[in-house]
Amino acid sequence: MPPQTRGSRLPKIVIERQFESEESSSESEPENEEDDGGDSEMLSEEENGGKEEEEMDVEKGKRKEKKPITISLKKVCKVCKGTGHEAGFKGATYIDCPKKPCFLCKTPGHTTMTCPHRVATEHGVVPAPRRNTQKPLDYVFERQLRANIPAIKLGHVVPDQLGAAVIRLHSRRVTCLEFHPTNNNILLSGDKKGQLGIWDFCKVNERTVYESVHRIILNSMKFNPVNDGTLFTAASDGTMCLTDLETGISDRLMDLNPNGWNGVANWRMLYGLDICWEKNLVLISDNFGYLYFLDQRSKKKVGEPVLIHKKGTKVVGLHCNPLQPELLLSCGNDHFARIWDLRRLEAGASLCSMSHGRVVNSAYFSPHTGSKILTTSQDNRIRIWDCIFGNLETPSREIVHSHDFNRHLTCFRAEWDPKDLSESLAVIGRYISENYDGVALHPIDFIDTNTGQLVAEVMDPDVKTISPVNKLHPREDVLATGSSRSVFIWRPKEKSKTEHEEVEERKYKIFVCVKEGKKGQKKLEDGSDDDDDIGDSDGCHKKGKRPKSSGKGKKVR
DNA sequence: AAACGATGGAACC
DNA sequence: TGGTTCCCCTCGTT
């Protein structure tokens, strides 16, 4: 399908200085005649040209060496700077630069428009070079590990209808999300500023943002397994905190920069965080390749930090195996994911190193048996290892999926559906957009990791920003999304309703948090007369205060 | 409506 | 190894 062309888009302006010879102005340009030559022409300064030319003529003798500026309106591709084509949005469709490798699968010769991986159904899957389930031993493992796993593939319930939202809950982009372990309606969110949001998405106005838990990027959080009123958080300010959710008071358990700022090269940041319940250890990783330990009960550092990834590189993710908590999975910027045995942990002694094409954003054991591994790498591939006891040299599957690195976005991470007993469903936001009825939307993809099939793509015309952060509820059919500064809740479509009814009553509630004096909420406000939730963000942004319950539901459309 | 800027990682030397 | 340069679907603000 050919993209709609936008009628009169202003071409880029290139200013060239030239020497006297007027003829030369016409020589430099005729590259861009090809497709829409109509509006790509070159103009040598005309409007003022009239006047100035006369003046020049008057004083022609003197100013012979003048250097006229020629403004040529050339279309230049913003990607490769070449002419004759132009990358970018044409309406809601993005046109790739044909000179660059495919933005999706990274192979040259085609663009995303024609990429076979774009239509996701199984085209994305690079089959395993070697199956792990061929050996007798593997069958034993399979039978032991997956004894309770349904052999028949279950139908997945996909929460694909927008249920509630808080627009601009945070003042910077959302970096992580977590559902409360016991209270089904509480969603926690961290942001780039280090703030912590707490939202009861059933009583939508119940939201709080604690401003001073951290000073910069809240990278990960984990509930305290012995007290679910408290939360461990790790941040780029180099601290790890245990925060009381009622009061917002934080206990700083670790500070890697006790002497303050000592230059970028020395500033330590904390990224990965997980808890080994068997050893009562909180595990934290930093941006220099090290893993730290903290005793969960005494809240004291224990042992010495261990180098688990290339020195000087970020260790962005940690995950303890759900069945064998002493098995630790780590991943980082050195392009590796590694499995470690916490009982015999020392630098270089990983049980296994899994190589990736680029930075590994996340690596997770499967939620029930812990026998699978799911990783997200910046090479636009999701990798799955089907059995950690098999040969881990190469992944069992690679699924091409658009989740590139962009420094302005939170890194994408594919996550398992914790409710899926077959351990096959994963969720991840998509970077590249699709033209949905004239709107460019970035869906959230549900992928069957056994086949690479796209089970569902979740989107809504009111969610126009990219959604890199997604979390599936551990018990309910609920999806939480962090997109830019906003938080969204999705639920499954009610079966009783017809398509038409759904459209008629888009019931979800949107709340807007805006700092005083800021504009921008207009679109979401209209049709509604109660504005009293606007501006109350002050109230809900204060550390230690409960939110003012002033927000009212707003229908959109 | 266009311009701007914040600012991570990789490729290059 | 370290400094420099470049960069493709952002997003919110001016």
Q: Which contiguous run of DSSP H or E holds residue A541?
A: helix A537-541
C2 C1' to A173 CA distance, Å: 31
* Phi/psi of residue A59, nearest 5 degrees: -105, 40
pLDDT in tens, A266-277: 889 999 999 998
User: What are the residues whose beta carbons fall under 8 Å from the beta carbon of A376, sequence distance 6 or more?
Assistant: A360, A361, A362, A363, A382, A403, A411, A412, A413, A414, A428
Chain-centre distance for alpha carbon A466: 7
Burial A141-173 (b: 16+ CB within 10 A, else e): bbeebbeeeeeeeeebbbbbbbbbbbbbbbbeb
pLDDT in tens, A500-553: 776 666 777 888 876 543 443 334 433 333 333 333 333 343 333 333 322 222
- Check residues 482 to 501 of chain A and report those whose beta carbon is under 7 Å from nucleic acid strand B: none
CB of A175 closer than 8 Å to CB of A192: yes
Cα–Cα distance for residue pair A264/A152, rounded to 1 Å: 53
A192, closest nucleotide (Cα–C1'): B6
Distance between the two ends of chain A, CA-based, in angstroms?
Answer: 29
Mean pLDDT of the residues in chain A: 77
- Check residues 412 to 451 of chain A and report those whose beta carbon is under 7 Å from nucleic acid strand C: 431-433, 440, 442
A313, closest nucleotide (Cα–C1'): B9
Q: What is the pLDDT of residue A540?
A: 40
Residues paired with residue A141 on neighbouring β-strands, in sequence order? none
- State the DSSP code for A301: B
Residue pointed to by tokens 């470690």: A340
User: pTM value?
Assistant: 0.80
C10 C1' to A520 CA distance, Å: 17
Burial A403-436 (b: 16+ CB within 10 A, else e): bbeeeebbbbbbbbbbbbebbbbbbbbbbbbbbe
A100 sits within 7 Å of strand C by its CB: yes
A112 sits within 7 Å of strand C by its CB: yes
- Residue closest to A379 by CA, chosen among A105, A100, A112: A105
- Measured in residues, chain A has a length of 557
Q: Which nucleotides of strand B lie within 7 A of protein CB?
A: 2, 6-10
Strand-strand pairing, A425-429 and A88-90: unpaired
pLDDT beneath 50: ranges in chain A: 1-72, 124, 128-133, 516-557
Q: What is the pLDDT of residue A515?
A: 54
CB of A332 closer than 8 Å to CB of A315: yes
CB of A272 closer than 8 Å to CB of A259: no
- State the DSSP code for A474: S
Please name the residue whose C-alpha is nearest to the C1' of nucleotide B8: A407
Q: What is the pLDDT of residue A3?
A: 36
Cα–Cα distance for residue pair A283/A281, rounded to 1 Å: 6
